């Protein structure tokens, strides 16, 4: 996460249980109930991570 912050990503908390990650004011991902969802409009839609498992995003 440290490298992401250096690259311009910001974490914003609207509610104590929901965290929003933005870059240049645009939502990139959100964390809710310990599940991170990356916004993706391409094939397959949003990318939903699984706690305790590795999710690799290439591209």
Mean pLDDT score, 23-31: 83
Residue 55 lies in a domain: no
Q: Give CA–CA dist 37/22, Å, rounded.
A: 12
Look at residue 32 and tell me if it is in a domain. Answer: yes
Give the pairing of strands 18-23 and 26-32.
antiparallel
Residue 56 lies in a domain: no
7 within some domain: yes
Residues 41-47: what's their mean pLDDT?
A: 86
Q: Is 3 helix (H, G, I), strand (E, B) or coil?
A: helix
Q: How high does pLDDT run on average in the chain?
A: 78
- This prediction has a pTM of 0.61
Domain that holds residue 40: 2-48
Total count of domains within the chain: 1
Mean pLDDT throughout 5-34?
Answer: 74
Stretch 28-47: mean pLDDT: 86
How confident is residue 12, by pLDDT bands cut at 50, 70 and 90? Answer: low
The CA distance from 30 to 14, in Å, is: 11
């Amino acid at each position: 996460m440290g490298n992401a912050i250096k690259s311009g990503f910001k974490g914003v908390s609207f509610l104590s249980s929901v965290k929003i990650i933005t870059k240049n004011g645009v939502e990139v991902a959100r964390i809710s109930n310990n599940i991170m969802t990356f916004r993706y409009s391409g094939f397959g839609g949003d990318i939903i991570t699984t706690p305790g498992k590795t999710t690799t995003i290439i591209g």
